[in-house]
Structures are given as structure tokens and as C-alpha cells.
Amino acid sequence: MYTQLEQRDMDSPPVNISTLRGMKDEGEPIACITAYDASFARLVDDAGIDVVLVGDSLGMVIQGHDTTVPVTVEDIVYHTRCVARGIRRAFLVADMPFMSYTMPEQALDNAVRLMQEGGAMMVKLEGAKGQVAVVEFLARHDIPVCAHLGLTPQSVHKIGGFRVQGREQSVADKMLADAKALQEAGADIVLLECVPNEVGQVITQSLDVPVIGIGAGPDVDGQILVLYDALGLTPGRTPRFVKNFMAEANSARAGLEAYVRAVKDHTYPAKEHCFS
């Protein structure tokens, strides 16, 4: 009983929502990464990662699809269960896949599966103001939620490609309003993907909850990368915000430690990883 309390004897106690809020308040950057199996989960946890996401990016990097659309709840439950076995300290978030949260009751059923069967501590869902009712319903049932804004890859066929979001002032204003509405509805974290630095900065300053960025510039509360991108395992062209941390490391553990260090000392993302 109370495993988490027992683990307080560890050098660093397990990360929870309060830890993440405290890090935002103290200005300590939150280092996040994706993982999909127990071995890498153990490695990223040992390297000092604060938050591990079982992302639906597994559709691309594990399953070989072109998008995240084919990923199922079953897939995420399976990989979350694997990752949970490798983690001791990091906070574990699992993605709600495409069409698994179209209605509040459906979202609750699937979120419960990710938490009970997978061991997730929070679920992440994509979408703007249209998801307020879902987030509210989940929050009312004490399900911690991360709301993903900006580029939302599950909508790739609707938005016509993976591209930077929020360059036009009207779109940036709407994104800020959506972020506030989602926080108000009960979202505990906001994740921003592929937005100009200024949009990342304004939204981060406007919210009380931590804002994690991927291609959202340096002025957010934390950074996240897809594990395979950070380790230079992704073939071909990678997005501008990606940095290969294996380029100057001689082991995966050293590469991941370099990523954590770079996030914590604000050397990643650098100018060349950002959008204006």
C-alpha cells in the first residue's frame, strides 16, 4: 500500500501533478520524452526524465504508419502497460487515440482503461475548445488531463499536412482563448506543438498549469521530444525542432542525459529549432 509514499526514501521521489506545478512556479524546466516499451522507459527514467508520454506517435515509430490515425486504444493500453513496468520516478501520461474521445462517456471509459489497465497517471487528448465538455467530464471524475493544442496530428487529413499553427494573429488569439478554456475546464497540463515562439511564450505566461512544448520555442515550462527523434533513430528528414542528442554521445543513456541537461539549462531548443 502507498507505494508512492514508500518511494519517498528514493533520492528523487516520484513526480506527480504537484511536482510539475511546483516546477512551473519555481521556473525549473520540465524534461519530457515519449517511450513505448519497458527497456527504454527504464533508460529514460534513469536519465532523469520528469514526464514520460506513451504517445500515439507509436503509430509511426513502432508500427510504421504514416500518421497516428490507425492507433487504437488497445495499442496504447498495451504500450502503456509495458512502459509502466520500467518507470520508477517519472510521471506517466498516455495518449487518447483518434476517435477515442468523441463523447464524454466514451472518453471516460477509454481514459479509465488507460489508467486501470495501462497504469497511466494522466491522459492526453488533442483538440481545442470543442473538447471542453470532454475535459470537464474527465476532470469531474478525477481523471488528470493534458490538452494538446497547436499542431494536432490526429487532424492531419483535415488540416492538410503537418504544419506550423498560429502564425496568423487571429489563429494565435483563438489558441490562447482555447488554452484558457481548457484550463478552466480542468486540464492539468497544456501541450503545444509546432507554434511560433511568441505564441508559446504568451500562452505559457497566461496559464497557471504547466505548458509543455514541442516546437513551441524556449519560453514554455517544459520540452518534449519523440524518443526515436532524440536518439537519432528516425530515418530521413526530421522536423525543424528535432535535435539528435546521440550526435555527441556514446550511449543512449548519455544521449538522454544530455537531452535532460539541455532542457534544464535552457540550451535546447536553440534558435535553429524554433519557429517564428
Chain contacts with ligand KIV (rule: CB under 6 A): 34, 53, 55-57, 95, 191, 214, 224, 226
Query: Would you give the distance in Å from CA 184 to the centre of its chain?
Result: 19
Q: Clarify whether 117 is annotated catalytic.
A: no
Residue with cell 556514446: 250
- Where b means 16+ CB within 10 Å and e means fewer, 153-164 reads bbbbeeeeeeeb
Closest CB 3 distance from ligand KIV, rounded Å: 27
- Of 178, 127, 171, 134, the C-alpha closest to 153 is 127
* Residue with the shortest CB distance to ligand KIV: 55
92 - beta bridge partners? 52
- Of 214, 196, 273, 246, the C-alpha closest to 34 is 214
Nearer to ligand KIV, 134 or 226 (CB): 226
Closest CB 10 distance from ligand KIV, rounded Å: 27
Q: Where are the beta strands (DSSP E) in the chain?
A: 30-34, 51-54, 91-95, 122-126, 145-150, 189-193, 211-214, 222-225
Closest CB 208 distance from ligand KIV, rounded Å: 21
Closest CB 67 distance from ligand KIV, rounded Å: 11
C-alpha cell at 129: 475548445
Nearer to ligand KIV, 56 or 257 (CB): 56
Nearer to ligand KIV, 158 or 250 (CB): 158
Nearer to ligand KIV, 95 or 221 (CB): 95
Nearer to ligand KIV, 95 or 219 (CB): 95
Closest CB 114 distance from ligand KIV, rounded Å: 13
- Of 91, 92, 89, the C-alpha closest to 76 is 92
Check 193, 198, 257, 272 and give the catalytic one: 193
- The Cα-based distances of 185 to 12, 35, 115, 135, 209 in angstroms read 31, 28, 20, 6, 12
The amino acid sitting at 16 is N
Q: Among all residues, which ones are annotated catalytic? A: 193
